[in-house]
Amino acid sequence: MIGVYDSGAGGLSVWKELVAMMPDEDYIYVGDNAWCPYGEKPVEIIIERAEAITLFLNGKGADIIVIACNTATAAAISHLRRKYSQIQFVGIEPAIKPAALESRTGVVGVLATANTLKAEKYHRTLNRFASGVKVIERVGEGLVEAVESGRDARKALLRCITPMIEEGADAIVLGCTHYPFLSEQIKAISGPAVRIIDPAPAVALRTKSILEMMPPSPRKDKSSGKSVFFTTGTYDSVKRLSLKIKPDLPENSWKGFERI
C-alpha cells in the first residue's frame, strides 16, 4: 500500500505518475482540503497536519508515504523521517537541477508557493545547482484555488509567467503539484520553445526504487491495483480530477470526508 497526500487535489498529478509506473500497486490518497492551501500557513501547522495524516495513512496500511506537496515536503519531511523511522517517505521539490543544467539561455523560471520559495531545502538546491543561471521566482497566487475550484487561471498565470518570458527563461519549473493541471494554459502563454518541468515522474521513479528494496508487507498477500481517496473537507476537486486522470475508477473509490 502506497500512501499519497497533499493539501488538496494537487497531489493527484503525482498519483497519476505513480499509477502509470506501478499500476498493480494499491494506493490510498488523502487531500487535506480543510486546510488547503498550505502555501502561506505557519510551518508548525503544516508539520502538525503532516503528522496526523502520516498516522492515518500508516494506520490504513501504508508503509511508504509520498508527500505529494512541495510545501509539506519542505516543511515536514525531515521531521517525519526522524519521528517515524519505520515508514519510508518520498518527498517532492522543484526540479531546479535539470532546468539549470539544460538551460540554453541561462535563465529559468520557478513557479511555487511562498513557503516553498522560503524553505531552506529549496535554497540548498538552488545554491548547489543553479549558481550559474538566473532564476526568476514567482509565487503562484490564486493558482491552487483555481485548480481546486476548476476556475480559469489565465489572468493569474499571465502575471506569473510573463516576467519569466520577458527575461528570457527557456524553462519553467513547476514547484507545486497543483500546477501541472495548468500545464496547457502555461504552455499557451510561454510558447513552444519553453520547457515545462514537472518533477512528478522522478518522484514516481524514486518511489518504485524504494518499493523494490522493501520486504513484502505481511499485511497483504498481493496488490490489486486499487486506489481509494479520502479528504478532510469537500471531495469535489479530488473526485473531478482523479476521474479526469482515470475515468474508469469505480464509484466506491471516494470515501469522502474523514476527520484527521
Q: Does the annotation mark 160 as catalytic?
A: no
Task: Give the Å distances, CA to CA, from 30 to 65, 69, 228.
Answer: 11, 11, 9
Which grid cell is 98? 535539470
- Nearest to 229, CA basis, from 240, 217, 220, 219: 240
User: Any residues with CB less than 8 A from the CB of 20 and at least 6 apart, and which?
Assistant: 204
Identity of the amino acid at 175: G
Exposure string of 170-183, with b = 16+ CB inside 10 Å and e = fewer, is: bbbbbbbbbbbbbe
Kind and range of the H or E run holding 21: helix 12-21
Longest dimension (CA), the chain: 55
End-to-end CA distance of the chain: 19
Question: Is the previous residue joined to 37 through a cis bond, with omega within 30 degrees of 0?
Answer: yes
Neighbours of 203 (CB within 10 A): 27
Question: Which of the residues 68, 76, 176, 260 is marked catalytic?
Answer: 176
* 69 a catalytic residue: yes
Q: Which of 9, 67, 69, 117 is catalytic?
A: 69
Element at 175 (helix H, strand E): strand 171-175
Contact 99, 173 (CB under 8 A): yes
Q: Which residues does the annotation mark as catalytic?
A: 69, 176
